[in-house]
């Protein structure tokens, strides 16, 4: 079997693609970027839960207390912590993008430092949310 | 397969700007909500906050920003991973289906927020 037959191709561009991401050691900037994407997709789904909570909390005093009591039990509390932490990472990575758009930290080394700062601050943020929630 | 036809504003430069402007609206909204929740919040104060016209407008702005921001973000993810190269011949159909599901969900989110805040 030739290489070409072995690889899926698009109708537009029939050239084979032999880049196997799984065999490559990715830099920290790549992990920061992938995490930004993953947390973004997670926030799309989390928005549903947040909207539900907003709806319930504003509907009546009884449903407000109902949401509060749900958030008191362990699993929903963990989900709330997860959403807060995911949103915190996504926001920090977004702010890093805005800073880089302004021309700050656009070098190779700047990108690495920025990604490390985002991961460090997001970890601190997740810890802070944990301390606040439990 | 032309992917720009399902993008938010048809051009990458415009999508880029919309993504950044909406991110600022969402960041300020979530910071404000976090600040409110970290204080002592009960039903009366929470309801009173959302009864203010400026808070209704702020919430509507955040919901429209969420829809545009998520549309652009999900489009970037879908057009990178849900392709014929990644998924085979059904790639384009799968992507368009996901795009449709995401778009309808986002329209639903906006309508839901309008109902929550204005009813």
A17 domain residue, yes or no: no
Candidate from B27, B46, B88 with C-beta closest to A57: B46
Q: What is the pLDDT of residue A2?
A: 45
pLDDT tens digits, one per residue of B34-73: 999 998 899 999 999 999 999 999 999 999 999 999 999 9
A108 domain residue, yes or no: yes
Q: Which residue has the higher pLDDT, A2 or B67?
A: B67
Tally of structural domains, chain A: 1
Candidate from A11, A41, A101 with C-beta closest to B20: A101
**Token pair 């057009």 is at which residue?**
B79
Rounded distance between C-alpha atoms, residue B93 and residue B65, angstroms: 27
Rounded distance between C-alpha atoms, residue B86 and residue A97, angstroms: 27
B20 domain residue, yes or no: no
- Is the pLDDT assigned to residue A66 strictly greater than 80? yes
A123: domain CATH number is 1.20.1300.10
B110: domain CATH number is 1.20.1300.10
A106 domain residue, yes or no: yes
Distance from CA of B88 to the nearest CA of A (A): 6
Give the contacts of B55 (CB within 8 A, at least 6 positions apart). B49
A19 domain residue, yes or no: no
B contact set with A (CB within 8 A): 1, 20, 23-24, 27, 30, 38, 42-43, 46-47, 50, 66, 70, 73-74, 76-77, 83-85, 88, 102, 105, 109, 112-113, 116-117
| Pair of tokens at residue B68 | 């545009």
A10 domain residue, yes or no: no
Tally of structural domains, chain B: 1
The average pLDDT across B75-79 equals 96
A111 domain residue, yes or no: yes
DSSP state of B74: H
Model pTM score: 0.89
| Pair of tokens at residue B75 | 């489009």
B79 domain residue, yes or no: yes
User: B98 near B82, Cβ under 8 Å?
Assistant: yes
Candidate from B1, B77, B83 with C-beta closest to A37: B77
Q: Which domain holds residue A95?
A: 27-133
A1 domain residue, yes or no: no
Subunit contact A54:B116, Cβ cutoff 8 A: yes
ipTM: 0.94
Q: Which domain holds residue B54?
A: 25-117
Q: What is the pLDDT of residue A72?
A: 92
B91 domain residue, yes or no: yes
């Amino acid at each position: 079997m030739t290489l070409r037959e072995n690889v899926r191709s698009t109708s537009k561009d029939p050239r084979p693609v032999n880049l196997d991401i799984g065999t490559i050691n990715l830099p920290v900037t790549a992990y920061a970027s992938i995490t930004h994407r993953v947390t973004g997709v997670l926030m799309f789904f989390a928005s549903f839960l947040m909207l539900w909570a907003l709806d319930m909390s504003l509907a009546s005093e009884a449903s407000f207390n109902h949401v509060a009591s749900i958030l008191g039990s362990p699993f929903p509390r963990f989900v709330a912590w997860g959403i807060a932490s995911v949103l915190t990472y996504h926001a920090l990575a977004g702010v890093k993008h805005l800073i880089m758009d302004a021309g700050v930290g656009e070098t190779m080394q700047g990108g690495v430092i920025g990604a490390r700062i985002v991961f460090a601050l997001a970890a601190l943020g997740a810890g802070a949310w944990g301390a606040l929630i439990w | 397969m032309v992917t720009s036809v399902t993008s938010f504003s048809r051009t990458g430069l415009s999508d880029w700007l919309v993504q950044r402007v909406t991110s600022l609206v969402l960041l300020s909204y979530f910071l404000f909500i976090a600040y409110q929740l970290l204080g002592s919040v009960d039903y009366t104060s929470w309801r009173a906050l959302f009864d203010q016209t400026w808070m209704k407008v702020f919430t509507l702005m955040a919901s429209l920003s969420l829809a545009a921001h998520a549309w652009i973000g999900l489009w970037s993810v879908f057009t990178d991973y849900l392709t014929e190269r990644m998924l085979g011949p059904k790639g384009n159909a799968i992507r368009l289906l996901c795009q449709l599901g995401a778009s309808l969900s986002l329209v639903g989110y906006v309508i839901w927020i309008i109902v929550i805040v204005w009813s």
